[in-house]
Chain A
Amino acid sequence: MNMLISNIQRFCLRDGKGIRTTVFFMGCPLRCFWCSNPENFKSEIIKYNKNGTEKTFGKIYTEDELFCEIMKDKDFYENGGGVTFSGGECLLFLKGHTNLLEKLKQNGVSICVETCLNVPSENIQKVKNYIDEFFIDLKVFTDKAKQINCEPNKVISNLKLLKDKNAITTFRLPLVKGFNDDKDNLGIIKNIIHKFNPNCVEIFSVMNLGKEKYQSLGLKVPDLKKFSPSEMENIKTFLDYENLVINKF
């Protein structure tokens, strides 16, 4: 089974230990209006026009091809580096590629995933033993979740699954002004954090990173307002968790 990938970014120093290669899958159950990779909403090749030239988002890879791409930086994966699967939602697709995951493990490549956990539980069951670290986006747990197609119950039950596995987890809170920064939502998130006790929590104010992409896809560029440093500090204090950092991105 082939995979539809929008980008393979080498020399990533975030999203896990060491030096990493991040693989962006196309296709996502959510529709976050602040998303910086809107080309990955749908699992299909997208043609677009840039300065009169036709270009595409998306390329199909076989497992072997993707394995070769990831292994190009093998010599830089010492110190715990490796691959980070992102997207879109990589956990929609990885369950069909346990062979690839197995091969990567055998070659000493660490595997991380960036996920919203808004996927069927079996998707996680199938791959969780291969994953060294989970970066989990906690976005919205109030009624507003519907606006981005998110199912909070699904996310929470999947979190339990990972808690049982004792996986290394980092929770990430993309803060969107006027959307998920209300006390109700932050209160629920606070409970989740304290209940699941992740290794780390990162909070950050979302930014207009994907402007050019929105334009090339003919989508409306979101108007996002940044939180001030003091507002971020207040949220940090509210969440009251020891291993919590404010990220710049």
Chain B
Amino acid sequence: MSIKGLIKKFVPKSVVFKARTILAESKRTGNKSKKQKLMFVAKNYFKYKSFNNRDEAKNLINMYKKMDLSVKDGDSFIYFIDDKKIFYNPNNYSNGTVCYSLILDYSLSELKEKSTNEDMKKEYDALNKIVDMILERNKDKQNKYLTYINNLKTQKAQSLEEAFQRILFLNSVLWQARHDRMGLGRMDLYLDRFVKDMKSGEISLVVSKFLQTLHKDYKFKSGNLLGDTGQIIICGGLNEDGTYFSNKLTYIFIEELKKLQIPDPKVLLRVADNMPDKLLTTAFDCMKTGIGCPLLSNDQKVIPAMIEFGYEEKDAYNYVVSACWEPFVADVSAELNNNFNINFLKLFTNVLFSDEMKQANGLDDVLKIYYKQINQETKRLTQAVNNFMFGQDVLCSCFNKACFESQKLMKDFGAKYNNFGVTGLGLANVVDSLIAIDEIVFKSKQKSLVEFLEIVKNNFGGHENLRAYIQDELLKYGNDDECVVELTNKIINKTKELFNNNAQGKRRIKFGLSSPDYICGTIDIPATPDGRLDGEPANVHISCRKPVAFTELISFASKLDYSKMAFNGNVVDYMLTPTFLEDNSQKFVEFLKLAIKKGFFQMQLNVVSSETLIKAKNNPELYKNLIVRVWGFSAYFNELPEEYKNYLIERAQKSEYAYQ
């Protein structure tokens, strides 16, 4: 029997879960080798307390009983995170958001009163109990934050500061209950009523404090990579009547992040061509500093795609995104949008060296063979998505407006929308590979298909010239050439068709073209015809492997067909130097405006020069605060694994070549 088999047979599940969580923790603390990780688990196993009772409310109470809940500083928001408490269930609802309005507009007792679902009632009770515990352990202290906490029991929120305290209370419980990477929702919108009569200066102070509180436990909150916390604040956006919504908070969230210069939390700004120029300039001024946000999400592309998919119009206008950029409807959804992945490149290499492929007589034959793989994968994904069972979900159901109204839990489909998103990886490399095969084998007949595939299989050994030719001379995904756009859309639309053909169950699938896995998801993929060597990363989101002008990449991205179901995050990722932006600020804002009109789906910028990145890599101690955009989040450059650093440097160099 294998070691895995032995563990499965003899070690209790709870012990395995706990060990696994500590293992994940060990990764964050920088232990790299297997030995280091195992030592970390062994050393810390008894330091961590786990809570695996089936009764979620009981788990919460037991955990908080064991936590240090003493308020130490009278001038800060109350926010307890204890990273040694494990509340583990592998399928806990994560990467979504809750309807924070519920905890602002109602007291816990009102919420309980309105409930008929026993699990939900118990959960509100548990929260009430936590409030009592906090008050009890701090009974000798008095400050406004404790009053706000006390108000949770019987009153609704009265002020912006109180609202933030209530949000932080619920947010900390979500983290502690391991609902990871939950976003903060459309904060400028649902906090609108609190800021109407406030002066900007007052708002700024409290927003800054709120952001810093969220940032504090950044390491605990991170997923596989430091910075991947999913603490996303959605700002701005089109109203159903076509006007653009923004308020003082929209500006202040962005301005305060710019001042704080921290990689997390982050802002996603919903943009449209009728948004105020001033807001776009504010966003640009923040992006220019290099903290990687705000990410721009184009309402004019996102909303129509959502409506076409089947979301009600008013709901589509109220979209937020999962931890990175995957759109879903705020407040009423139980949608997991980034737990499943379609690896277009892996599917391609599954058949690339097959006997069937060797017989292909043209690009259509190659595609036909490839589509069989996509077909199988769409079947598998549809099944996996529909077999997915939520773990502990009562807390999230309590703060989901649709579940609250239906009094049904998420796992019982109490939410209004239950679709799942799939993130797509490696489509760019597939398109580039198809172009290379077409050019070298079928058009110019430089090599036979068998010969060419043999060269690819041997990692281009001894054929470096051919590889350089493919990489430098051939058209690429990201070039706005009609043929490239057509080929890309062909695969996108075929994937839609196959997902549709294989649809089953209550959960429908949507997919996107941006995946966080561009490095980890390609380590075991052999060399591909696009010149990518064995194990090399895939393209980052929507980017081009060759130096390409920003306008060209935007034009390309604007021509992709995101309709029907291909809207699960489609981010154009571009790198620019701070000097370039500084020298061209006004023109760049004009460009952003035109690019929104042109119709990119989403866009993020990495503003850093290759020179700075190289210096930072060589002298980490001098660049402790250098922030870069990694995927849907930002991180400190020197906290990234080497392969991410190197890839960023390579991309920065290529990009600089395109515009300087």
The answer to whether A and B assemble together is yes
Please list the residues of chain A having a beta carbon within 8 angstroms of any beta carbon in chain B. Answer: 9-14, 18-19, 51-53, 55, 72-73, 75-76, 78-79, 248
B572-597: CB near A (< 8 Å → 1, else 0) gives 00000001000110011011001101
If A18-B590, A79-B590 touch, whether A9 touches B464 (CB-CB below 8 Å) is: no
| Residue B551, interface by CB 8 Å | yes
Task: Report B-chain residues with C-beta under 8 Å of the C-beta of A11.
Answer: 549-552, 591, 658-659
Name the residue on A nearest B659 (C-beta).
A11
**Are B598 and A75 neighbours in the complex by a CB distance under 8 Å?**
yes
**A79 vs B588: C-alpha distance when bound (angstroms):** 12
**Are A13 and B465 neighbours in the complex by a CB distance under 8 Å?**
no
Task: Report B-chain residues with C-beta under 8 Å of the C-beta of A72.
Answer: 480, 551-552, 555
If A19-B590, A75-B597 touch, whether A9 touches B549 (CB-CB below 8 Å) is: yes
| Residue B205, interface by CB 8 Å | no
If A11-B549, A11-B550, A53-B469 touch, whether A76 touches B587 (CB-CB below 8 Å) is: no
**13 cross-chain CB contacts under 8 A:** A11-B591, A11-B658, A11-B659, A13-B587, A14-B584, A18-B590, A19-B551, A19-B594, A51-B464, A52-B468, A73-B555, A75-B597, A76-B595
Name the residue on B nearest A10 (C-beta).
B549
Name the residue on B nearest A9 (C-beta).
B549
If A72-B480, A72-B555, A76-B551 touch, whether A13 touches B594 (CB-CB below 8 Å) is: no
**A19 vs B587: C-alpha distance when bound (angstroms):** 7
Task: Report B-chain residues with C-beta under 8 Å of the C-beta of A79.
Answer: 590, 594
**Closest Cβ–Cβ distance, residue B660 to chain A (whole Å):** 9
Task: Report B-chain residues with C-beta under 8 Å of the C-beta of A19.
Answer: 551, 587, 590-591, 594
**A248 vs B550: C-alpha distance when bound (angstroms):** 22
**Closest Cβ–Cβ distance, residue B547 to chain A (whole Å):** 10
**Are B469 and A73 neighbours in the complex by a CB distance under 8 Å?**
no
**Closest Cβ–Cβ distance, residue A69 to chain B (whole Å):** 11
Task: Report A-chain residues with C-beta under 8 Å of the C-beta of B549.
Answer: 9-11, 73
**A78 vs B595: C-alpha distance when bound (angstroms):** 11
Name the residue on A nearest B580 (C-beta).
A13
**Closest Cβ–Cβ distance, residue B303 to chain A (whole Å):** 21
**Closest Cβ–Cβ distance, residue B591 to chain A (whole Å):** 6
Partner of A18, one of B555, B587, B658: B587
If A52-B465, A53-B468, A53-B469 touch, whether A13 touches B598 (CB-CB below 8 Å) is: no
**Are A53 and B551 neighbours in the complex by a CB distance under 8 Å?**
no
If A10-B549, A52-B464 touch, whether A76 touches B598 (CB-CB below 8 Å) is: yes
Task: Report A-chain residues with C-beta under 8 Å of the C-beta of B551.
Answer: 10-11, 19, 72-73, 76
- Going nearest first, the 6 A-B pairs with the smallest beta carbon separation are A10-B549, A11-B549, A13-B584, A11-B551, A13-B587, A53-B468
Task: Report B-chain residues with C-beta under 8 Å of the C-beta of A75.
Answer: 555, 594, 597-598
**A53 vs B471: C-alpha distance when bound (angstroms):** 12
**Are A53 and B465 neighbours in the complex by a CB distance under 8 Å?**
yes
**Closest Cβ–Cβ distance, residue A204 to chain B (whole Å):** 12
**A248 vs B584: C-alpha distance when bound (angstroms):** 12
**Are B583 and A248 neighbours in the complex by a CB distance under 8 Å?**
yes
**A19 vs B480: C-alpha distance when bound (angstroms):** 17
Task: Report A-chain residues with C-beta under 8 Å of the C-beta of B468.
Answer: 51-53
Task: Report B-chain residues with C-beta under 8 Å of the C-beta of A55.
Answer: 472
Which residues of B from 447 to 473 have beta carbons under 8 Å from A? Answer: 464-465, 468-469, 472
Name the residue on A nearest B555 (C-beta).
A72
**A55 vs B591: C-alpha distance when bound (angstroms):** 33
Task: Report A-chain residues with C-beta under 8 Å of the C-beta of B591.
Answer: 11, 13, 19, 76
**Closest Cβ–Cβ distance, residue A80 to chain B (whole Å):** 10
User: By CB atoms of chain B within 10 A, which of A9, A13, A53, A75 has the most?
Assistant: A13
**Are B588 and A13 neighbours in the complex by a CB distance under 8 Å?**
yes
Task: Report A-chain residues with C-beta under 8 Å of the C-beta of B480.
Answer: 72
A10-B552, A19-B594, A248-B583 known; 12 new pairs, CB 8 Å cut-off, are: A10-B549, A11-B549, A11-B659, A13-B584, A13-B591, A19-B551, A52-B465, A53-B465, A53-B468, A73-B552, A75-B555, A76-B594
Name the residue on B nearest A11 (C-beta).
B549
User: By CB atoms of chain B within 10 A, which of A19, A51, A79 has the most?
Assistant: A19
**Are A78 and B552 neighbours in the complex by a CB distance under 8 Å?**
no
User: By CB atoms of chain B within 10 A, which of A14, A18, A73, A78 has the most?
Assistant: A73
**A79 vs B551: C-alpha distance when bound (angstroms):** 15
User: By CB atoms of chain A within 10 A, which of B468, B552, B590 has the most?
Assistant: B590
**A75 vs B596: C-alpha distance when bound (angstroms):** 11
**A79 vs B597: C-alpha distance when bound (angstroms):** 14
**Closest Cβ–Cβ distance, residue A84 to chain B (whole Å):** 14
Task: Report A-chain residues with C-beta under 8 Å of the C-beta of B579.
Answer: 248
**A9 vs B550: C-alpha distance when bound (angstroms):** 11
Task: Report B-chain residues with C-beta under 8 Å of the C-beta of A18.
Answer: 587, 590
**Closest Cβ–Cβ distance, residue A115 to chain B (whole Å):** 22
Task: Report B-chain residues with C-beta under 8 Å of the C-beta of A73.
Answer: 549, 551-552, 555
B589-609: CB near A (< 8 Å → 1, else 0) gives 011001101100000000000
Name the residue on A nearest B598 (C-beta).
A75
**A10 vs B549: C-alpha distance when bound (angstroms):** 6
If A19-B551, A52-B465, A53-B468 touch, whether A78 touches B588 (CB-CB below 8 Å) is: no
Which residues of B from 536 to 577 have beta carbons under 8 Å from A? Answer: 549-552, 555
Name the residue on B nearest A77 (C-beta).
B594
User: By CB atoms of chain B within 10 A, which of A11, A72, A248 has the most?
Assistant: A11
**Closest Cβ–Cβ distance, residue A64 to chain B (whole Å):** 15
**A72 vs B556: C-alpha distance when bound (angstroms):** 11
**A52 vs B579: C-alpha distance when bound (angstroms):** 34
**A53 vs B531: C-alpha distance when bound (angstroms):** 15
**A172 vs B233: C-alpha distance when bound (angstroms):** 47
**Closest Cβ–Cβ distance, residue B524 to chain A (whole Å):** 29
Task: Report B-chain residues with C-beta under 8 Å of the C-beta of A248.
Answer: 579, 583
**A52 vs B469: C-alpha distance when bound (angstroms):** 11
**A78 vs B579: C-alpha distance when bound (angstroms):** 24
**Closest Cβ–Cβ distance, residue A226 to chain B (whole Å):** 16
**A190 vs B551: C-alpha distance when bound (angstroms):** 39
Task: Report A-chain residues with C-beta under 8 Å of the C-beta of B594.
Answer: 19, 75-76, 78-79
**A73 vs B595: C-alpha distance when bound (angstroms):** 11
Task: Report B-chain residues with C-beta under 8 Å of the C-beta of A52.
Answer: 464-465, 468
**A75 vs B597: C-alpha distance when bound (angstroms):** 9
Task: Report A-chain residues with C-beta under 8 Å of the C-beta of B598.
Answer: 75-76
Task: Report B-chain residues with C-beta under 8 Å of the C-beta of A76.
Answer: 551, 591, 594-595, 598
B342-386: CB near A (< 8 Å → 1, else 0) gives 000000000000000000000000000000000000000000000
Name the residue on A nearest B558 (C-beta).
A75
**Closest Cβ–Cβ distance, residue B517 to chain A (whole Å):** 29
**Closest Cβ–Cβ distance, residue B325 to chain A (whole Å):** 24
**A75 vs B472: C-alpha distance when bound (angstroms):** 27
Task: Report A-chain residues with C-beta under 8 Å of the C-beta of B552.
Answer: 10-11, 72-73
**Closest Cβ–Cβ distance, residue B273 to chain A (whole Å):** 11
**Closest Cβ–Cβ distance, residue B82 to chain A (whole Å):** 50
**A18 vs B588: C-alpha distance when bound (angstroms):** 9
**Closest Cβ–Cβ distance, residue B630 to chain A (whole Å):** 25
